[in-house]
A and B are shown apart, each in its own frame.
Chain A
Amino acid sequence: MPDVDVASDLKRADALRELGRAVDAIEILGRVVASEPANHQALCQLAQCHNATKDYPTMLRAANRAIAANPHSEWAHRLRSLALHNMRRHPEAIAAAKRSIELAPNAWRPHMILADAALVGTKPSDKKTAYEAALRALQIAPHAADAHVTMGRVLLNIGELRHARRYFAHALALDPSNAAALTNLAVTDLRGGKVVAAGRGFGAVAAANPTEDMYARNVGASAFVWMQSALDAGVVIVVTSLVVAMVVPPLTGALVTLALLVAYVTVGTIAYRRLPTPMRRLALRGRSPMVTRVNVGVTAGVLAFGLWIAATEAFGSPPATYIAPLLLWSLALLWRLRIRLEPRLHQTRQRRRYRAEVFGVGGQPSIVTPRRPLD
């Protein structure tokens, strides 16, 4: 067996993992574990590396071995909980996180892990567990940006957008480049209807982490939402034009329809040009060719139909001409309204459902202010 300088190897592996070279670190740790199979730290680091490579079953195996080597290790139980959480074995993840807390009740990370694991549950009691764990983590470590992010995520999940935003802002005050905080802040914006702000936030994260495809997808999602809003506005204009065509004299109706179309195109173009560059590209092209075709097709349809209304109006078609299209377009409008309102209604329902259980009747989320580590 070759003589392995274990302490140096562990440091080296940790440095490599931090540099995003988890595969290299795994190689070194494999050597250490072969030399010292019961080295608890090496096994925990190995689990960390497998987490970085998203190989969760292997991460779980490494965490289990670390627990076998040192059953009283908070770190090992925490890593086990994280692996189980990522493998969608949530009840086991919660149990492992609770064991980790038992072993180190005054450490903040086990509480954070428990909050993450419990947040997946749909019962109000799960949300309450998540909230309390996140609050405990924050009370222990008000200087940790990740603890603020976790609390923000819990609040976002139960529909408390305003408070969630505050916690993400806290996290960013502590760590301005925290990708999780930036992303979740953008998600909060998106849920609050601030599509462009959300796209800008997602774009900033994607620029800093261009190899993470998830961040790029987020920009695509915000661009898609923006494009859908533009198309919905087109549907509203068509329905308005049809109503106008039925109630005002033909020439006036034609002029009003044309004016609405011009306004739609002008405002749409200006809004489009003001979008952040990546969002602008993705709004038109989308991340899939199919989305592009649908978007372009619907826009062209809206404009063509508007022009048809204006043209037929100008020729003095009777109001009855527009009844059938009006019904169809009104149905389309209602369908779109339902799609747009459903998430908000769901959010309101969630908020009502969880609020009393989590914060108590008439209660509000606690606000833990961030603190610098050296305070």
Chain B
Amino acid sequence: MGNSPLIASLMAAVEAAPDDLPLRVHLAELLLRDDRRAEAIGHLAQALARDPGHAEAQALMAQAIARRDATPPSAVEPPDATGPQTATDTDTEATQASQASQATEPPPAASPPTAGDQPQARESGVPMASAPEPRRPPDDVDWRAFEDEFTGIVPPRFAPAADEPEPVSGDGDRMFDVETSSIFLTDVHGMDDVKRRLEVAFLAPLRNPTLRSLYAKSLRGGLMLYGPPGCGKTFIARAVAGEMGAKFISLSIVDVLNMYVGNSEQNLHQIFDSARRNAPCVLFLDEIDALGHKRSAVNSSTMRTLGNQLLAELDGMDGDNDGVFVLAATNAPWDVDPALRRPGRFDRVILVLPPDRAARGPIVEYHLRDRPVANIDVRRIVAATEDFSGADLAHLCDSAAEHAMHDSIATGEVRMIEQRDFDRALREVRPSTGPWLASARNVAMFANESGAYDDLAAYLKKRKLA
């Protein structure tokens, strides 16, 4: 304690000039020498909050933490689980920000950090400041004071209102699933053009890393699938994930809005973060027209902010998107904000049409695979189901099965599903793609000045719908 008068004087000086980093670091150094580690860590944390790259402060912080780690673990439990993490992981601004955010959360059930927390921290890319072993903090440290101090230094990025529920954080309590897709493009019948374009845009660069580096082709980027509802856009996205051996996260506007209105942009950020941690990962944004609606057509600040957040995430402003493949699907690409269609975002657009003649047969057979059928003329069904989407074909098979079952119940004699059931079903089931194709006609007529819908216009012309 020999430096106490000097330290007191320096403390007063730091209080008068809180942004004077050399002074603060010097004070921390003296505190450390005086074995007042906790106070030193506090000042170093403040210095690093102002200048995360301050080498001397970093070195002193490491020294201070190492000394603290050297102290034998105390048998006393920490006041709450967030405490130890805020004091140890102060290497980067990001860490501080996230911890400051944690400090605003209500304390979870009191338990020390467990070994299970460590891989999560490593996975999130946060550098570990010291030993990887679980640590117990000394009982002589006023953690609450540190938390209060941190909260004051680095405000949380998103400030929830007092009555709002806490946002989703981490992987433990997330409301979305990171899946491993077991579907492959070979499971997608027909759609040869779509498959070819997916191969060129995504799959070939992934499979050929040498050529990829030769051509300086990045693994980032987005692709938008559009077409009538029920035509397999989600299925294709899963198949792409399966082909890549990548993780698959699916997200729709309802998911984002359901995760507490007011925190939607934060939730979106966390979903992208999760995709980055799980890279290579296919992040599938269903109904992108809602998530990234034309901002000119949106009045509410919530949706505008959400749109801006989506743009920022796609640009990788909050993290590196390498290895994150963003696929989007929409029935209404004309409602998507033009900013999302710019290069580097969803610059590649693929039209997913109702299954063609070659694809419809296998789809019908697939839906009948576990059903008792006899003498079904698949070719006849295929010929009668022009414009049927995959979902319509499934519905057709369901209807035919329903007729056969009803007949079995009525007669008391169980029978197979026959062609006559399909004939009845075909009289009842109509393609659901009609309204979409009617809208598409207007799109091809009025909104194709830029040629963005040339493939759609060509399809409509071929079908004599334009």
Q: Which residues of A are at the interface with B, using a C-beta cutoff of 8 A?
A: 8, 11-12, 14-16, 18-21, 24, 177, 203, 206-208, 210-211, 213, 215-216, 219, 277-278, 281-282
Beta-carbon contact of B447 and A210 below 8 Å: yes
**With A15-B300, A18-B299, A210-B439 known to touch, is A8 a contact of B446 (CB < 8 Å)?**
no
4 nearest A-B residue pairs (beta carbon): A206-B446, A11-B261, A210-B442, A210-B443
- Are B293 and A19 in contact, CB atoms less than 8 angstroms apart? yes
Given A8-B261, A177-B297, list of 12 further CB < 8 A pairs?
A: A14-B300, A15-B261, A15-B302, A16-B290, A20-B290, A206-B442, A206-B445, A208-B447, A210-B447, A211-B442, A211-B443, A278-B446
Contact, CB under 8 Å: B303 / A216: no
Contact B260 A15 (CB under 8 A): no
B298 touches A12 (CB 8 A): no
Residue of B257, B302, B443, B446 with highest tally of chain A CB at under 10 A:
B446
A-B contact pairs, 14 of them (CB 8 A): A11-B262, A12-B261, A14-B300, A15-B257, A18-B300, A19-B293, A19-B298, A203-B446, A206-B446, A207-B446, A210-B443, A211-B334, A215-B446, A219-B446
- B90-116 interface mask toward A, CB cutoff 8 Å, 1 = contact, 0 = none? 000000000000000000000000000
Q: Shortest CB–CB separation between residue B44 and chain A, in angstroms?
A: 41
Q: In this complex, which of B260, B332, B447 has the most chain A Cβ atoms within 10 angstroms of its Cβ?
A: B447
Given contacts A18-B300, A19-B253, A177-B297, contact A12 B258 (CB under 8 A): yes
- Which residue of the partner chain A has the closest CB to B260? A8
Tell me the chain B residues, 293-340 only, with Cβ under 8 Å from chain A: 293, 296-300, 302-303, 332, 334-335
- Residue B254 interfacial (CB < 8 Å): yes
Instruction: Determine whether the beta carbon of B445 is less than 8 Å from that of A16.
Output: no
A-contacting residues, B255-308, CB 8 Å: 257-258, 260-262, 289-290, 293, 296-300, 302-303
Contacts of B428 in A (CB 8 A): none
Residues from chain B with Cβ under 8 Å of A211 in the complex: 332, 334, 439, 442-443
Known interface pairs A16-B257, A177-B296; A216-B446 also in contact (CB < 8 Å):
yes
Shortest beta-carbon distance from A3 to chain B in Å: 13
Across-interface contacts of A210 in B (CB, < 8 A): 334, 439, 442-443, 445-447
Smallest Cβ distance from A250 to chain B, in angstroms?
48
| Known contacts A177-B296, A211-B439, A11 near B446 by CB under 8 Å | no
Contact residue among B260, B300, B302, B447 (Cβ-Cβ distance under 8 Å from A207): B447
Instruction: Check: B449 CB closer than 8 A to any chain A CB.
Output: yes
Which of A8, A19, A208 is the one whose CB lies under 8 Å from B290? Answer: A19
Contacts of A219 in B (CB 8 A): 446
Distance of A211 Cα from B254 Cα, bound (Å) = 23
Choose from B303, B332, B443 the contact partner of A18 (Cβ within 8 Å). Answer: B303
A29 to chain B, nearest CB (A): 14
Cα separation A16 to B253 with both chains bound (whole Å): 9
Partner of A216, one of B260, B261, B262, B442: B442
Q: B449 and A277: CB pair below 8 A?
A: yes
The residue that A281 contacts in the complex, of B261, B297, B303, B445, with Cβ under 8 A, is B445
Residue numbers in B under 8 Å from A15 (CB-CB): 257, 261, 300, 302-303
> Per-position contact with A for B19-36: 1 when CB-CB < 8 Å, else 0?
000000000000000000
Contact with A along B36-62 (1 / 0, CB 8 A): 000000000000000000000000000
Most buried by B among A16, A210, A281: A210
A344, B261: Cα distance in complex, Å:
53
**B302 nearest CB neighbor, chain A only:** A15
